[in-house]
Amino acid sequence: MKSFPMFIRTSGRRVVILGGGEQAAQKMRLILKSDAQIEIAAPALDPELKGVVGAGRAQWHRGGIAPEFFRGAAMGFIATGCPGLDASLHALAQEAGCPVNVVDQPALCDLTTPSIVDRDPVVVAIGSEGTAPVLARQIKTRVEEVLPPTLGGLAAAAGRLRSAVAQQVPRPARRAFWRWVFAGPPRDHWTRGAERDAITTIKQAILKGGAPDTPQEGSVALIGAGPGARDLLTLRAVARLQEADVIFYDRLVDPEVLELARRDAERVYVGKVVGAHAWPQEQINALIVAEALKGKQVVRLKSGDPGVFGRGGEEIAAAEARGISVEIVPGVTAACAAAACAGISLTERGVTNSLVLATGTGADGEMPHLSDHLSGPGTTTAFYMATRQAAQISAALRVRGVPQDLEFTLAVDVSKPGQRILTGPIRQLDQVIRDHGVTGCAVILLRWPVSVQRQPLPSGQIDVAPVALVS
């Protein structure tokens, strides 16, 4: 970001507008939404600005402009319509230390005005750092459609009740209480216009010390973060991240995914590196259970899907053994993401009717036994964590009659900026991995069409075919 988004307090503070025409009026309309003390400086004012001054909502400064005019103001807007005069006024504002927005001169702007969705006291500001104002307005329109016009009234009512909640609802139950207010019956009542019912429902819950059926104990959510891109997370995964008190995450989880969590959530890295398990699984299990027993909402964030080669079963068992509720939020697993990025289908009518997910690294770090059912005519096989075992896998498949000219797809860093899709005949799998320096996140896909029969183990030298780099 080149500009940091934040809200500036206007209560009891001056906001100055320099200019008397339509451009100045546009800025004035924005500031009228606040409670700022508005001062307009111009030799003459258009009828709209005169009306605001006449109504007592703004003061009119007719004299000369010096740095003192800007001093102490929360912000200023310079909109005289004359570029040269605007630049001179900007210099005076800079001398006084007042941040300003200069209309149509981005290089002189300390501030930019966003597109605003106003549900006072809930305000959504959308900016593009001046690069795409039309896009910002389009986003504003979408947000306007999502947020009910009455939402601000519910937020204001909640604000008036915060002290009562602090006095009567135990601290561990407050977050769940407010979640119930804004996502449960109170919001439903308010949205349909039954404000009195909403307030009555909230007050009754406060007197009872919390929201109805609010769990006082902690919980664990195993969330699939998908292959990397944060926009591949499910809506439920995002919701659980924003509710979490503590998040345990893996090495392969993209940092951008963690940005979706609420700002004050504790983040604990429990990543594992192949060949160097700095965090034993038993220790991770114990930490998850310990935090949940404190009454916290715990998220275990795993790349891909938590139920596919993620050791989620061990973490579930550890939590359930202590009576902790567990939720599994599925994610886009690597095989599906790899196929999508490569533009192929994992199953296809008349071509492949079975899908097998296999791992190339067993519990002891070695390649597990490659049985016959992993691959055959009509089967797509996805090998996870298999790049180090590529030579052994290729040889094992060869022994089991896999035609050596079948094309594999090697998907590397799927959905991430460095994504690569490599292809070649299965006999060259290990060579491709070595030639392209593939070491980390990669999935090997092998589609064996039903029409292609097994081949006997060939004898002699196998021909070398070129390797194609798709992307």
Per-residue pLDDT tens over the stretch 4-50: 888 999 999 999 999 999 999 999 999 998 999 999 999 999 999 99
Q: What is the pLDDT of residues 320-331, one digit of tens each?
A: 999 999 999 999
> Considering 250, 296, 302, 305, which one is annotated as catalytic?
250
pLDDT of residue 183: 86
Provide the 3-class DSSP secondary structure of residue 150: coil
- 272 classed as catalytic: yes
pLDDT of residue 20: 95
Minimum mean pLDDT range among 77-86, 413-422, 449-458: 449-458
Enumerate residues 6+ apart whose C-beta is below 8 A from 189: 195, 197, 198, 201
Q: Phi and psi of 391, rounded to 5°?
A: -65, -45
The Cβ-side half-sphere exposure at 289, using a 13 Å CA radius, reads 16
Q: What is the pLDDT of residues 224-243, one digit of tens each?
A: 999 988 899 998 899 899 88
Q: What is the pLDDT of residues 295-353, one digit of tens each?
A: 888 999 999 999 998 889 999 999 999 999 999 999 999 999 999 999 999 999 999 99
Q: What is the pLDDT of residues 132-181, one digit of tens each?
A: 889 998 999 989 988 888 999 999 999 999 999 999 999 888 888 998 99
In which band, very low, low, confident or very high, does the pLDDT at 131 lie, cut at 50, 70 and 90?
confident
For every residue of 324-345, DSSP letters joined together read -EEEEE----HHHHHHHHHT--
Instruction: Identify the CATH number of the domain defined by range 219-329.
Output: 3.40.1010.10
Instruction: Identify the CATH number of the domain defined by range 336-469.
Output: 3.30.950.10
Q: What CATH number matches the domain at 14-113, 3.40.50.720, 2.70.150.10, 3.40.50.300, 3.40.50.150?
A: 3.40.50.720
pLDDT of residue 191: 86
Q: What is the pLDDT of residues 413-426, one digit of tens each?
A: 999 888 999 999 99
Average pLDDT of 197-204? 94
What span, in angstroms and rounded, lies between the C-alpha atoms of 412 and 430?
Answer: 14
> Considering 50, 140, 272, 416, which one is annotated as catalytic?
272
Q: What is the DSSP letter of 360?
A: S
- Above pLDDT 70, what percent of the chain? 92
Place of tokens 């700022």: 36
**For the packed helices 195-207 and 151-168, what is the interaxial angle rounded to 10 degrees?**
20
Provide the 3-class DSSP secondary structure of residue 304: strand
Average pLDDT of 428-448? 92
Average pLDDT, the chain: 89
pLDDT of residue 470: 47
pTM above 0.75?
no
Single-letter amino acid code for the residue at 320: E
pLDDT of residue 14: 97
What span, in angstroms and rounded, lies between the C-alpha atoms of 251 and 393?
Answer: 25
The answer to whether residue 471 scores a pLDDT higher than 90 is no
pLDDT of residue 371: 60
pLDDT of residue 454: 86
Q: Are 180 and 209 in contact (CB under 8 A)?
A: no
- 250 classed as catalytic: yes
**For the packed helices 195-207 and 171-183, what is the interaxial angle rounded to 10 degrees?**
160
Enumerate residues 6+ apart whose C-beta is below 8 A from 148: 191
